[in-house]
Structure 1
Amino acid sequence: MSKLITVFGSTGQQGGSVLRALLSNGNFKVRALVRNPDSDASKKLKELGAEVVKSDDSDSKEHIESALKGSYGVFLVTNFWSYFDKEYEYGKKIADAALSAGIKHIVFSGLAPCKKISNGRYNVPHFDLKHQVEEHIRSLSAANPSFVSSFVYAPLYAQNFQTSFTPKKNEDGLTYTISFPSDPSGKLLDVGDVNDIGSIVAGIFSDPTKYSGSIVPFSGDALTGNQIADTISKVTGKKVSFNYIPPSVFRTFGFPGADELATMFEYYNEFGAFNDLDKSIAPKIHKLTTFEQFLNKVNYKLE
């Protein structure tokens, strides 16, 4: 009998990947929680075979609990960039609702506790608030052994090199420069295709005993800035050079989130995305996409 998994963030990158992987697995049914069931994105989820239910992270605990009823498992991803300092409040509420709804297995998309690992030197709210949610979920599992919890950590999305960190054409009209705050003397930058998360989460749901309490970080590649530039050059046939922007300079750019992203890169440069976590678990669940494979898959071009 197929197990019903309720997926948060189904119209987003992580939730969408998880939804598609679960549906293609054959052992799961999926309930997608969405803000607007009548949106085009929600209609596409229905076409894929998902049950679509109206629910929002800001809803009451009782409403969320009702939306989860009858589910075996929950995939939870919280979006700091939508509700900022309320991320822990909303994540905690959803976890509490999951426990009350009789959920047997929750998989939460978390991130490293930067402030804790750096002894307070690096405060990255969209990491640290997620870790607070993780700690709360772990406390629920400790008090309720039938409520299994597992965790998956994503790296810097390879998709960011299609948006935030795209190479810019130089004045010669022939060569390109890609600029971001990954220190050449620091830790390698973990990069991964966010679409890999779906198969990883499906694997975790398939073996709750094995992955109970586990953190599964995934990374298709760990690269220097120069290696990223060289890979883009190889795939596109265009000469791309890497320009290191120190986080202190990046911080002054002034766009929304610049300060937080600068601190994130300071953390990455010193500790890496996953610090001392075991990156060998995810490749045993699913073959991960390298950065070069990702660029080829999306037919990456430079104009």
Structure 2
Amino acid sequence: MAQTVLVVGGAGAQGIPIVQALSSDPKYAVRVLTRNPDSETAKELLALPNVSIATGDASNEADLRKAFQGVDLAFVNTNSFALGIRAEIYWGMRIFDIAVQSGVKHYIWSALEDALTLSGYDEACRVGHYEGKSRVTEWMKSKPQTPMKWSVLTTGPYIEMLHELLRPTKLDDGTWVFQFPLKDGAVPFVHLDDVGRAVKWILDTPEESAGLNVKISIEHASGEQVASAFTAVTGQPARYESVPATQWLKDSPPGPPSYKMGSQYEGNTPDDPTLLTVEQNFSNWWNLYQRSAGNTGLLKTDYAFLDRVIPGRVKSVREWMEKVQYTGERRFVIKSYSGN
């Protein structure tokens, strides 16, 4: 009999490849929690084999309890940008509680790096959407593996952001320019398809994955590597330019620089001191990657481990560009940073 997997955040950029990966295996019946069952994404997911839709909000306890009924396994990705730090910490803990009470056997928390701790508590590396998730991870580490096994999947910037927030601009002379506030650092990009494969490995092998924090990425890519990969794949000239974060926020903003992320969530306000503005958050986000060059800085990935558990994974920016036939043109991947 198939095990029922609840995917919280299943209609988002990260959740979709997870639903696709799990639904391809008849031993899993996938239940997706979404607020909008009539959306095109929900309809596309419902068309996959072994997929059902649960209507509800991931920050509503009654909806969560209903969605968790009869669930064996769970993957939970909360919306950091919509919730804000404080609410994400609360709901990250509370959803775990509800999963235990509902009889879930194995629970996966979708996390991001503990940037503040890794930087030696440098406020310049305090990233709001990383802080909430990483604090829940640290709390989970105090929990036993009974009655519910748990694992953590730590991701990072999606390489698919090269279609959108990190997209290059084309000059009149035909040169494509990638402008990041990265200096000589590197970004351990994550390929969304690999997220699905990693979650499937965790659920397929609980005897090894229980208690693990599985950190995934393609490679630690510098700005120069991104530009050279583009030229190698497309044959078009490209270069990388390091720019100040203030310029990047002006030219390629993830949202209004003064907007406090999570301020629209019920109970939060625009003057909430626990929230960071888009400018504060993403300036610090780039600081983190400026200090992560060569897989020897603040953020590190065990690539040998990933080669073993995700065989055939995408291992470079160039390989990803070849796979998706990347052209530098815009494609929308990520939901609104306000959570709308």
TM-score, normalization: structure 1?
0.91
8 Å CA contact 1:216–1:278 kept in 2: the answer is no
| Residue matched to 2:286 | 265
8 Å CA contact 2:3–2:28 kept in 1: the answer is yes
Secondary structure in 2 aligned to 1:75? strand
Q: Deviations over 1:112-142 (max 9, x none)?
A: 1111121221211111110112223333x32
8 Å CA contact 2:187–2:292 kept in 1: the answer is no
8 Å CA contact 1:170–1:177 kept in 2: the answer is yes
Q: Which amino acid aligns with 1:133?
A: V
Query: What is the Cα deviation at residue 264 of structure 1?
Result: 1.1
| Residue matched to 2:154 | 153
| Residue matched to 2:171 | 170
Q: Which amino acid aligns with 2:96?
A: A
Higher helix share: 1
Matched, 1:99 2:100: yes
| Residue matched to 1:207 | 205
Q: Distance in 1 between matches of 2:108 and 2:71?
A: 13
Unaligned runs of 5+ in 2: 258-277, 330-340
Q: Deviations over 1:36-61 (max 9, x none)?
A: 2222221222211311111211212x
Greater relative contact order (Cα < 8 A, sep 6+): 2
Q: Distance in 2 between matches of 1:103 and 1:276?
A: 31
| Residue matched to 1:220 | 218
8 Å CA contact 1:18–1:198 kept in 2: the answer is yes
Query: What is the Cα deviation at residue 251 of structure 1?
Result: 6.1
Q: Distance in 1 between matches of 2:168 and 2:130?
A: 27
Size of the aligned set, in residue pairs, is 297
After TM superposition, the structure 1 stretch with the greater mean CA deviation from structure 2, 290-299 or 4-13, is 290-299
RMSD (CA atoms): 2.1
Identity of aligned residues (%): 25
Matched, 1:108 2:109: yes
TM-score, normalization: structure 2?
0.81
8 Å CA contact 2:175–2:236 kept in 1: the answer is yes
| Residue matched to 1:297 | 323
Matched, 1:288 2:313: yes
Unaligned runs of 5+ in 1: none
| Residue matched to 2:40 | 40
Q: Distance in 2 between matches of 1:252 and 1:296?
A: 30
Q: Distance in 1 between matches of 2:301 and 2:172?
A: 43
| Residue matched to 1:241 | 239
| Residue matched to 2:81 | 81
